[in-house]
Amino acid sequence: MKGSQFLYPALLKTLIVPPLVFSSCLHLFALNQLQAIWKILGYILSFPIIYIIRSHISVYLSSRRARLMGSRDIPRVKGRWPLNLDILVDWAKSGSEEEVARMMVLLQRKWGRTYNTRVLGEDQVISSDPAVLKHVLMDDFDNFVKGEKFKDRAVDFLGDGIFNSDGDRWKFHRSLMRPFFHPAHISPKLFTPSIRAFLDEVPSDGEGFDVQKELGKLALEMAILWMTGEHLSSTTSSTKVGLEGNKDEDEDWAKSKDKLADAMTQAQRIVGKRVKIGTIWPLFELTHDPLLEPMRIIRTFFEPIIERAIKRKHDRQNLIDDDEKQDKDHLHLIDRLVVATDDIKLIEDQLINTLLAARDTLASCLTFCVYVLILHPEVGSKLREEIRSIVIAGEGDGDGEITKDVIRELRYTRAYINEVLRLYPPVPLNIRRTLRPSLLPTSSGGQPMYMPANTSIILAFILMQRDEKVWGDDVNEFKPERWLNDGLGKKEREAFMSWNYGPRMCLGQPFALTVTHTFLILFSRHLDKLSSEGKKLDFAFDSQHENTSIPSLWTTVEGCDGRARGGKDRMWVVADVVLAIKGGLWVRFDPVETRRIDE
């Protein structure tokens, strides 16, 4: 059990060192004759005292090194409580009571765009300064890693995959995976049937439904389809298709398929909780390992799929004709992986890592695309107009074919997606850790700031992408036009990091953009079709659970105090596993003109 492995050495270090130092002091200053009560008091006080002394020494040393290197300290936050414990409490509360990154907005107002929270005496830097983020993700890339601490918290889930590795190991993963993420392997045709099936099932009779939840299922379905060729919505068992399985295995696999989405969410939440708790996370898992069950489900799901891919590889190797071999090669990500390695655990890790990267980010992007379509009907109209004019209606069911060329022509749609990603980045925060000290630049110029080795930095993408100093007075306006014509200036381009930045930029961008364009085309047509029947998509505020409705004060310019995109949002935006709408995005198809969005 990880808990006990952590507990004993930690207890030894924590319980032995302070009293040892205390008794050495007694000897040193000949205070052995003190009464027992003073010794006990001294023993108890030795813990906080040692802690505070250590903290002061580290601050002193860090400031000294900063001066020696011609730099300055990163501003250290002075909280209301000792050891900045109030920040820890606010941080814990902010998840349920506040908007995403609210605590950072407040700290930034007082301490600037880069500051050190120093909770419990440990350096923890947060920044939304584009110059700092670029430095971390690009200029000093080799020095800013995910780090051992992240690995320790995520290894039971992500194993040795691309998300969980640094240095040469990460380079190996990246070069193994990159070729398959090339746009040549991604066709809108692959996703069209799943999106059509999704639209067919969406209620159009006035019933409210949570589109965020449904898009989560759709994203999972499309990611699994592209990675493995497996149709999640199909009732056929994987073991029966191509492999000799027994009935129990079949049933087990079918159950794992149904529970896959929940198991992934659960595993992500557990790792997220570990990251939030920090070093002492094993203490919260002393009696059981909460990852065991979700990981059992995830592995049960992938096991027969990997076996089948290996079988396919052998079948291909037996083919005589090279062209035929080529044709059948690299059908799905998994086919490439089994060709590249025989290590089944590595293949499984890569699949889990890719699924993690793909599912929630994609679901978040699609959800906010739908949200904005309702929130800003005038922008939605322009989007639908462009789609109508460029995607020429074809024969049969009236659908023009969706091809890569068609997608390339949809310039307003692409600008729309970019603007969604700017204001609602699916990954709102990222984190890195220094191997060695680094000097952080600032956008305003002036002396660089000294960042010590082995220190974490949170990169606040969402704050940077909503920063007036970068994007101008209209920062909170949803304006796809800012991406058109001459496009963004250098300053703005370098402050858009929804796909990450530098060598570790998202590999799935072509996949995500193809899916999102295809979805928007088909969704627009669906809206057109229902509009011809006198129906219109709107928020279903009455279906939203009471505790999850956005507080009305946040929706006014005067009362929002910087929340809710300056009072424009009508839903409560939170960071769950990724950026999401609290309680789901409830919508319905209403008869036209019966409702208004600000009802």
Give residues in contact with ligand HEM (CB under 6 A). 162-163, 174, 354, 357-358, 361-362, 365, 426-427, 430, 498-500, 504, 506-508, 511-512
Using alpha carbons, select from 361, 413, 359, 360 the residue that is nearest to residue 384. Answer: 413
536 HSE (CA, 13 A, CB side): 16
- The CA–CA distances, whole Å, from 147 to 134, 166, 170, 517 equal 18, 7, 12, 35
Judged by beta carbon, residue 62 or residue 367, the one nearer ligand HEM is: 367
What six digits make up the tokens of 492?
């703005």
Q: How far is the CB of 509 from ligand HEM (least distance, A)?
A: 7
Distances (CA, A) of 266 to 146, 351, 367, 452, 581: 22, 17, 20, 34, 18
Task: Classify residue 401 by its DSSP letter.
Answer: P
Least distance (Å) between residue 162 CB and ligand HEM: 5
Residue 108 or 465 with smaller CB distance to ligand HEM: 465
* Nearer Cβ to ligand HEM (18/508): 508
Contact 199, 390 (CB under 8 A): no
Establish how many alpha carbons lie within 13 A of residue 387's alpha carbon, considering only the half-sphere containing its beta carbon: 25
Question: Do 577 and 265 meet the contact criterion of CB atoms below 8 Å apart?
Answer: yes
| 412 vs 511 by CB, closer to ligand HEM | 511
Closest approach, Cβ 315 to ligand HEM, in A, equals: 26
Place of tokens 């492995």: 5
Number of H helices, E strands in the chain: 22, 13
> Can you tell me whether residue 449 is helix, strand or coil?
strand
Task: Kindly tell me which of 357 and 462 has the beta carbon lying closer to ligand HEM.
Answer: 357
Unique residue bearing structure tokens 């907005």: 105
| Cα distance between residue 307 and residue 454, in whole Å | 41
Provide, rounded to whole angstroms, the least separation between the CB of residue 478 and ligand HEM.
Answer: 17
Q: Which of 66/352 has CB closer to ligand HEM?
A: 352
Smallest gap, in angstroms, from Cβ of residue 500 to ligand HEM?
A: 4
Per the CB < 8 A criterion, the answer to whether 116 and 76 are in contact is: yes
Minimum CB separation of residue 515 from ligand HEM in Å reads: 7
**Least Cβ distance, residue 55 to ligand HEM (angstroms):** 30
Smallest Cα–Cα separation from 451: which of 54, 91, 76? 76
Q: CB burial class (10 A; 0-12, 13-18, 19+) of residue 530?
A: middle
Residue in the structure block whose two tokens are 């580290």: 58
E strand or H helix at 588: strand 586-591
Which position's Cβ is nearest ligand HEM? 508
Tell me the closest approach of the beta carbon of residue 531 to ligand HEM, in angstroms.
27
| CA Rg value for the chain | 27
| Separation between Cα atoms, residue 419 and residue 284, nearest integer Å | 40
- CA neighbours closer than 13 Å in the CB half-sphere of residue 196: 9
**Helices marked H in 278-343 — which ranges?**
292-317, 322-328, 333-340
Alpha helices in 278-291 (DSSP H): none
Angle at Cα 313 formed by Cα 308 and Cα 314, nearest 5°? Answer: 100
The token duo for 467 is 């920063």
Closest approach of ligand HEM to the CB of residue 178, in Å: 9
Shortest gap between Cβ of 513 and ligand HEM (angstroms)?
A: 8
560 is in an annotated binding site: no
Structure token digits, residue 459: 């990169």
* Contacts (Cβ under 8 Å, ≥6 apart) of 45: none
For residue 426, the minimal CB distance to ligand HEM (Å) is: 4
Nearer to ligand HEM, 507 or 522 (CB): 507
* Helix/strand/coil percentages in the chain, nearest 5: 60, 10, 30
573 bridge partner residues: 581
Q: Which residues are annotated as a binding site for heme?
A: 506
